[in-house]
Structure 1
Amino acid sequence: MPTAAMLDDLPKGAWIAMMVIGFIVFWPIGLALLFYMIWSGKMQGWKRDGMRGCASNYRRHRRSSGNTAFDSYRDDMLKKLEEEQKAFGDFMERLRRAKDQQEFDQFMNERRTQGDAPAA
């Protein structure tokens, strides 16, 4: 197996370790490795925030399968999944707000009852 092919098969962690070692040994080596990692797309997956935007990212970069029926089905399913993801995010936000409101109301009620108690 050629050396270049072996280097391309290395995981991201190994590339980052080589970059850090390169910076320690001689900073232009680390800088060259950093630029190569950015240029080659090895750092591409680190731009995302978890799963947010994965479907829309996929939609922008996908290629046609050659089957228009499948492509339209895939587009419909991705749209439904994005809508469900948004609805679930909204639901979770409402749950967080309700829990925060409940905790705040409980705190205020406890504070009122402590204020009503006679001072010792």
Structure 2
Amino acid sequence: MNTLASEQTFAPRPNWFARTENWLDEKGKGAWIAAMVLGFIFFWPVGLALLAYMIWSKRMFSGKSCAQRRSRTVMSTRSTGNSAFDSYKADTLRRLEEEQNNFEAFLERLREAKDKAEFDQFMDDRAKREDAD
């Protein structure tokens, strides 16, 4: 009996849906949109299902492309074998993610302040109109 063949473990081949999803992810957001448009053209429920899936899986509105998300995940989990470098890489990635989260929070506060200023201006203009009438 061939012991080498019996010791090897084979990963199951992903189903057609997973293969298609991976292929579209590699091509980027444009491929997802093209598939959705073609789905609407040929059979509208397919386009609608793709649109719902893109929204549900957050592929439609994320700032990063699908390929960027996957490459970042793969790079952050892959070990180089050098524990000092792996530790440095993990710390750096953690710090960068923290900086990104802080920056996104800053942008959100900036948007909220702008919205509040616009609303306050609207209310002031409205009060002035009412006083003039």
1:70 offset after TM fit, Å? 0.8
Q: Which residue of 1 aligns with 2:73?
A: 57
Q: Quick one: structure 1 residues 100 and 106, their matched pair in 2 at CA, closer, same or farther if it must change by over 3 Å? A: same
Q: Which residue of 1 aligns with 2:127?
A: 112
Structure (1 or 2) with the larger CA radius of gyration: 1
Matched, 1:41 2:18: no
Count residues in correspondence: 84
Q: Which residue of 1 aligns with 2:107?
A: 92
CA RMSD of aligned residues (A): 3.2
Which structure 2 segments of 5+ residues have no match? 1-15, 29-56
Whether the 8 Å CA contact 1:37–1:43 is kept in 2: the answer is: no
Q: TM-score if structure 1 supplies the norm length? A: 0.56
- Counting aligned pairs with the same residue, the percent is 43
Q: Which residue of 2 aligns with 1:6?
A: none
**Amino acid aligned to 2:113:** A
Cα distance in 2 between the residues matched to 1:37 and 1:99: 42
Q: Quick one: structure 1 residues 99 and 39, their matched pair in 2 at CA, closer, same or farther if it must change by over 3 Å? A: closer
Which structure 1 segments of 5+ residues have no match? 1-34
Higher RCO (C-alpha under 8 Å, 6+ residues apart): 2
